[in-house]
Amino acid sequence: MTAVPKTAPTTLTEQAPAKLNLFLGVTPQVEGGKHQLVTVFTTINLADRLTFAFKASPTSGGARPRGAAAPGFAHDEALAAKAGAVTIETRFALGVEAFELPLEHNIIYKTVRAFEQETGKTLEGGLHITLDKRIPAQGGLGGGSSDSAATIRALARYWGIDPTCPPCLKVARQMGSDVLFFLYGGCALMGGSGDVLLRQLPQPALDIVLVKPTVGVSTVEAYREFDANPQPLPAVEPLVAALEKAAEKGQAAIAPEPLTPPPANADRAASGSSLPASLAPALANNLYPAARALLPELEQLLSALQRQAGIARALLTGSGSTVFALCADAATAQAAQAALVQQGYWAQTCTTLSHAGSSSLNSTQLV
């Protein structure tokens, strides 16, 4: 086994922010079982939190007792999983539907084992991971992928290696197409199956409301529906140009610090609703018709959001089922959220983040 660095911490915390697809253009071309596409990802301040507790010796047998729930988390939704030296406990935020997976199917567990395999850095003792889950599943928000990237970052910090070194990037690609993006975060133009970083983009400073129907959309089923009824590939260049123009006007943050909020509220107020309005025509998702065929409710939801005052554009993120709306300001987002919650939806206000991957983000900046 590889010796643990003398300075290795015993506990690490990583934030795992969600993402939105400001643009998604899927092609009929399939390579290695994955559709080729072009997408613009952006991180937002809705985030899971992962705490990694490294132990000096392997954990003993027996179930781990459940502790008190963290603030904002339901005590009766604490789930624990164990296999060998790695245990995972998931605590679901109130309003986020709980789910349980066999440990060997948990992407966090698979990431730990793949990291050991690819880097040769093997845990000598036990590792207990606590996941505070705020990102709903089957929402197109990339929660599982972001958790995987957070795990890569944590293990890289523990061993004192670069999380973007070739072995870590190989792990990211093994775990999922958008895991690599989450290692970098911010706003980026991605190609391939979503795993090729084409270029970093200026991060727009946006106030957003998210809403997710009770029913999710299966990514596999969405792509199957797309194959049955392929859609034209939209042009990404208008969005790239709009983001660059926004940066020139001071309406975007170009990753000043890891996982910090975008420009101050004064900057948001100065831009007013001009930024959402300038980006709105360039947003696109040609996977939406496939998702709508599987979940017709999406059409009514998008239409209702689009009619609300102060909302520049509403769009499906990824394969869904989460819909996001660009709002003129935080007050508009909050009003929309309140109305949606009254209708029984999971809804959340959020803002964009300039960069992902730091454990130093103050918890008050997360939602």
Which residues have a catalytic role annotated?
19, 178
3-state helix, strand, coil in the chain (%, to 5): 35, 30, 40
Residue 76 DSSP symbol: G
Query: Contact, 202 vs 187, CB < 8 A?
Result: yes
Residue 358's Cα: distance from chain center in Å?
Answer: 14
Edge-first strand order for the sheet with 311-316 is 311-316, 323-327, 207-212, 346-351
* Residues with Cβ within 8 Å of residue 162, at least 6 apart in sequence: 156, 168
> Beta 11-31 vs 284-285: how paired, if at all?
parallel
The CA-atom distances, in angstroms, between 256 and each of 198, 203, 261 are 20, 10, 9
Residue 311, amino acid: I
CA dihedral defined by 66, 69, 70, 73, rounded to 10 degrees? 130
CA–CA distance, 15 with 271 (Å, rounded to integer)? 28
Task: Read off the tokens for 337.
Answer: 């959220």
Query: In a 3-state reduction of DSSP, which class is residue 37?
Result: strand
Cis bond leading into 218, ω under 30°?
no
Q: What distance in Å separates the CA atoms of residue 155 and residue 52, rounded to the nearest whole number? A: 9
- Return the beta strands (E) in 117-161 as ranges: 127-133
Give the total residue count for the chain: 367
CA separation for the pair 151, 282 (Å, rounded): 34
